Amino acid sequence: MSEVEDRKLLEPLSTVVYGGLRLLIGLFLAGLVLNAVNGSVPFWDGVNACVTADWISSSSAGTDAAFATRDGAHVSAVPQYCADRPSAWQRTLGILSEVPAFVLFVGGLALLDRLLRSAARDGAYTRQTAYRLRFLGWFLLVGSLVAEIVRAASQAALLATLADDAPGSPGTLLGALSFPYLAILTALGLLAFARVMRTGAAMREDLEGVV
């Protein structure tokens, strides 16, 4: 298959990923410049030092009345704890709650862009493409788990600094965890496709050797 045909196979995903990654980097750099012009410290000033403890919900007659519920229905109130004047430690925990997911997204997008460009240049049905697809799958699998654990641990630690009845404990950490089902399933799918492509690439090499 020619390079032009390989490029057609990868469209429009290749163009969307390429443009999206460049746009994201551009917006990120623009944000840094605007923060510098305004005299604020990037990733520090204005950080969201809040915890939405959705695993701690309650219902009361006052809440139901405030939202005008119908008979047989009730409203569950989810508390959100925020620091009025966050300390340096609380700001750090707030940053750690958001940065891992951003790093995972940008890293995954960069790896996907590299995979698509490599496939367009070297061919879609090659061992190199299968290897890059496998690496992307493992990155997404491990990265999503690590990012979620770091986020949950940061949220649990931040909540311990904001609420007297929520000390840092394994129970609070488990309550803050949200298992990344979709990311895990996507990663497993990528690993499966990488194995199929690696097998297909080996068969193609054998056929070319026979011919």
Residue 184 resides in a domain: yes
The angle, 0 to 180 degrees and rounded to 10, between the axes of the packed helices 88-122 and 3-10 is: 140
58 assigned to some structural domain: no
pLDDT at 208: 63
pLDDT value of position 41: 56
What pLDDT is stored for residue 133 in this prediction? 92
Question: What is the pTM for the complete model shown?
Answer: 0.79
CB-based burial of residue 160 (10 Å sphere; 0-12 exposed, 13-18 middle, 19+ buried)? middle
Does residue 64 lie within any of the structural domains?
no
Helix (H, G, I), strand (E, B) or coil at 80: strand
What is the per-residue pLDDT for 203?
72
Bond before 12 cis per omega within 30 degrees: yes
* pLDDT for residue 163: 82
208 vs 198: CA distance, rounded Å: 15
In a domain, 135, yes or no: yes
Please tell me the predicted confidence (pLDDT) of residue 5: 63
26: in domain:
yes
Look at the chain and report how many structural domains it folds into.
1
28-61 confidence digits (pLDDT tens)? 888 777 766 766 655 556 677 888 877 776 655 5
Which residues in the chain show pLDDT less than 50? none
* Whole-angstrom Cα Rg for the chain: 24
Residue 70 is assigned to a structural domain of this protein: no
Note down the domain range covering 117: 3-47+85-210
3-state secondary structure of 42: coil
Structural domain includes residue 16: yes
Provide the 8-state DSSP code for 8.
Answer: H
Residue 80 lies in a domain: no
